Chain A
Amino acid sequence: MVDKIIDYIRVQEADFDINAEYQVMREDNREDGAIVFFVGQVREMNQGSEVTGLYLEHYPAMTEKSLQGIVEQARERWPVLNRIRLIHRVGQLHISDQIVFVAVSSSHREAAFEACHFIMDFLKNRAPFWKKETIASGDRWVEALQKDKDALKKW
């Protein structure tokens, strides 16, 4: 059973169930005309190498606080947002495993689309997670990309 509260933010090792999440976004929800989802998953190829596994480290005392701050910024920017759910996994993951989930509901689609995008762009630059991937030659830390940094400029 998934808790039903407006801002649901979790950092967890366990996988998540999109169908269950979607039901919580919809349950007793007569006011919203739009629900937007984003799911990030582990990709097989990264920076030219075949990846066989991905470990996600985080800063436990800071992680949820940081995500909460990003969600609050989104709410200030788009006051029409209704329900927000954000889940990020940590620990050992494998190819095509789900990593991150963002769901945003709103009366109309524009705010929900934009807020979902905004939350992901800020999460990529501000939330204290680090990926270490396993490739044929061993393990390597994933480098932060300039394009992710540049993505913040549009906000």
Chain B
Amino acid sequence: MKVLFFAQLRERLNCDSAELDIELPTLVTDVREALIAQFPDHADLLKDGKALVAINQELINNEKATITAADEVAFFPPVTGG
């Protein structure tokens, strides 16, 4: 599955998306763990509370939310607009 990155996370990981080898459907928490395994040096930015998650362009506040193959998934830092 593909995960999109934005802002500081995109810069630190040095890519705007990553392909994860993970069986679908899965949970947000499993995707987060897989990302941390793929980018262990940046666990500080990826962990729960540091990276927000959007599924299909909606902010999700539930680590147990389900992700299917059809979903667009994004991880990004806390937002700072306005």
Do A and B actually bind? yes
User: Which residues of A does B touch, CB under 8 Å?
Assistant: 40, 56-59, 61-62, 65-66, 69, 88, 99-100, 120, 123-132, 141-144
Contact B8 A128 (CB under 8 A): no
Chain B residue at minimum C-beta to C-beta distance from A133: B80
Q: Are A62 and B57 in contact (CB under 8 A)?
A: yes
Contacts A57-B7, A62-B57 given; does A129 touch B80 at CB 8 Å: yes
List the 3 closest pairs (A to B, CB-CB), nearest first: A129-B81, A144-B78, A130-B7
12 additional A-B residue pairs with CB within 8 Å, beyond A65-B57, A100-B82, A125-B79: A40-B82, A59-B4, A59-B57, A62-B57, A62-B58, A66-B58, A124-B80, A127-B81, A141-B7, A141-B8, A143-B78, A144-B79
A40: chain B residues at CB < 8 Å are 82
Q: A-B pairs with CB below 8 Å: how many? A: 75
CB nearest to A62 among chain B residues: B57
A66 near B57 with CB under 8 A, answer yes
A62–B72 CA distance with the chains assembled, in angstroms: 11
Q: Which residues of A contact B37 (CB under 8 A)?
A: none
